[in-house]
Amino acid sequence: MQVKGLHSGYGKVPILHDVSFHIDERETVAVIGPNGAGKSTLLKTIAGLVKLTSGELYFDGHNITGTSPDQLVRLGIALVPEGGRPFANMSVIDNLRMGAYSKREVLKTGVLDELFEIFPRLKERAKQMARTLSGGERQMLAIARGLVSRPKMIMLDEPSLGLAPNLVDEIYEKICALRNELGLTVLLIEQNTNYALELASRCYVLENGRIVMEGSSAEMSGSEHIKKHYLGL
């Protein structure tokens, strides 16, 4: 996955300025940054939900600039939106089936059973309405929904948002296990810098719509700027 000179925004309001970065296959990369830096816009632009004004996107050797969201799902890019956002009045199993919307054939490959093995709690609650789930279960449902289409790359938008610390631990353990088991490329967006640096091998810092720093997670943890502004040390 490669992003080159990306400019994007909503209508006439520019949000991202000349953002370039890359993620290698099976690599986990985190983008951290404060509120309003443009992190979610970045993911939405890659997923084709927000139109980019200029720049180029490459995935798996294809130029995917301006590709529609359903085509991107078919190519193997999945986005788990901020807060998970499962469909509250649909059952857990129907939520998962919605994940196969653009790639119906995957349902025949037993992907639901595989996901139920990884998320046994979702299997127990398969027929319940998603609104009856707890916050952690909803986030798991959203991640599972993103994985139904068997993506090569999954983009996670703040999976720790609004969860109790012990649940954040649990979610991150699952993400880590999933990545290793399924060989996923992960693009993680997170405000919770500790978790992001732990999971990712490399990290970019996005401030005011520009990438201001990049480096390996170890380098980042050592950086004064990160320590002061993000880790509160």
Partner 1 sequence: MKRPKLLNSKNIAILVVLAIAIVLPLFLRTNQYVLFLATTVLLYAVLASAWNIIGGMAGQLDLGAAAYVGLGAFTTGTLLIRFNLTPWVGMFIGALLAMGIATLIGIPLFGFKVKEVWYALSSSALVEVFRAIFMMWNKVGGPTERYLPFSAEGPRSWYLMRFNTYVPYFYIMLALLVVVFIINHRIRYSKLGYSLLALGEDEDAVEVLGVDSRLCKLKALMIYSFVAGLVGGVYGCIYGYLHPSFFSTDMSLEVVILGIVGGMGVTYGPLLAAIFLVSFREYLRASLSGMFPGKGLEGLYLMVYALILIVVALFQPRGIAPLIKRGFLKLKSFVGVK
In sequence order, what E strands does the chain have? 2-10, 13-22, 28-32, 52-59, 62-63, 77-80, 153-157, 185-190, 202-207, 210-216
Distance in angstroms (rounded) separating the CA atoms of residues 24 and 29: 9
Output the furthest CA–CA distance in the chain (Å, rounded).
51
Give the nearest distance from C-beta 50 to partner 1 in angstroms: 11
Give the nearest distance from C-beta 197 to partner 1 in angstroms: 26
Query: Of the candidates 98, 164, 177, 218, which one interacts with partner 1 according to CB under 8 A?
Result: 98
User: Which segment (12-20, 102-110, 181-189, 216-224) binds partner 1 by CB under 8 A?
Assistant: 102-110
Distance in angstroms (rounded) separating the CA atoms of residues 104 and 148: 10
Residues 136-175 within binding reach of partner 1 (CB under 8 A): 145-146, 149
Residues 72-91 within binding reach of partner 1 (CB under 8 A): 72-74, 78-81, 85-90
Strand 153-157 versus strand 77-80 pairing type: parallel
Task: Copy the structure tokens of residue 147.
Answer: 């994985």
Distance in angstroms (rounded) separating the CA atoms of residues 115 and 112: 5
User: Which segment (100-108, 114-122, 164-172, 215-223) binds partner 1 by CB under 8 A?
Assistant: 100-108
Beta bridge partner(s), residue 186 = 28, 154
Query: Which CB, 67 or 191, lies closer to partner 1?
Result: 67
Distance in angstroms (rounded) separating the CA atoms of residues 55 and 160: 30
CB neighbours of 83 closer than 8 A, spacing ≥ 6? 158, 161, 162
Give the nearest distance from C-beta 145 to partner 1 in angstroms: 7
Q: Fill in the per-residue mask, 186 to 215: x = in contact with partner 1 (CB under 8 A), - = not in contact.
A: ------------------------------
Task: Copy the structure tokens of residue 7.
Answer: 């400019």
Query: Which CB, 63 or 71, lies closer to partner 1?
Result: 71
The 10 Å Cβ neighbour count of residue 135 is: 15
Q: Check binding of 129 to partner 1 (CB under 8 A).
A: no
Q: Check binding of 177 to partner 1 (CB under 8 A).
A: no
Q: Check binding of 106 to partner 1 (CB under 8 A).
A: no
How many residues lie near partner 1 (CB under 8 A)? 30
Q: Check binding of 70 to partner 1 (CB under 8 A).
A: yes
Q: Check binding of 47 to partner 1 (CB under 8 A).
A: yes
Give the nearest distance from C-beta 200 to partner 1 in angstroms: 22
* Lookup result for tokens 């201001």: 212
Q: Which residues contact partner 1 (rule: CB under 8 A)?
A: 47, 49, 68-74, 78-81, 85-90, 94, 97-99, 101-104, 145-146, 149
